[in-house]
Amino acid sequence: MQVTFLGTNGWFDTAAGNTCSALVQSEEYDIIFDAGNGIAKADRYITQKKPVFLFISHLHIDHIAGLHTLVKFRLKKGLHVYTQLGSVTDLNAFVRQPYTVPFSGLPYKADITELAEGRHSLQFTVECRPLVHPAPCFGYRLEIDGKVIAYCTDTGVCDNAIALGRDADLLITECGLKPGGKSPDWPHLNPEDAIHIARQAHAKRLALMHFGAEVYKTVDERLALKQLYEKEWPGLIVATDDLTITV
């Protein structure tokens, strides 16, 4: 199984990366978390011959801006979009004329399903839990092909992030803040917070993404975290756009 970080920025695009999107390629499905501008690069990696599942964490623009690029794809087995309970109306208000092609006008079948908190049996198992963020936001736990991948952005430190990451083969968290940074009024994680969550969850591997674009202005600033925290969390993955790892 491969995971590709299509977009690793939070808030807005910069020379360091596009906004948030991560691709999980399993044997039978292509699964995407969030649809920031990074999602436009998905066709560099997928065959478009498998069913595609898109899980949206929340409706902040940096997590849905790339939805206007869906019309470029030719997904042979369609697109299944999952979002939080009660959010479809707002999502359809964003993905519509005159702004972009609506889901109903895409050149392939697309459907949208609202998910309540809890575990869901799709063609694989996915669990969603609310995180700590000013806007309602879901974290996800994906169980597929004998692996567990957890995806938690945007959030502050919370029990649900730890629960989603429990014994995960890969825990993906945001890293919106610099080391020691705090943002109580707009919760996000710094590297120490992310490592704390991974340690409490007994996750096997930790990957950082969703770097605050106004905070981490260069790729080098992000990559410095690996050396800084290598002893504290050996094998720490500092995601950059188009990085692919095997899980």
C-alpha dist (Å) from residue 67 to 114, 153, 173: 17, 18, 22
Tens of pLDDT, residues 205-224: 999 999 999 999 999 999 99
Tens of pLDDT, residues 97-154: 999 999 999 999 999 999 999 999 999 999 999 999 999 999 999 999 999 999 999 9
pTM of the model: 0.98
Query: Packing angle between helix 191-201 and helix 219-229, nearest 10 degrees?
Result: 50
What is the per-residue pLDDT for 161?
A: 98
Region 183-193 average pLDDT: 96
What is the per-residue pLDDT for 118?
A: 98
Class of domain 2-246: alpha beta
| Domain boundaries of the chain, sorted by first residue | 2-246
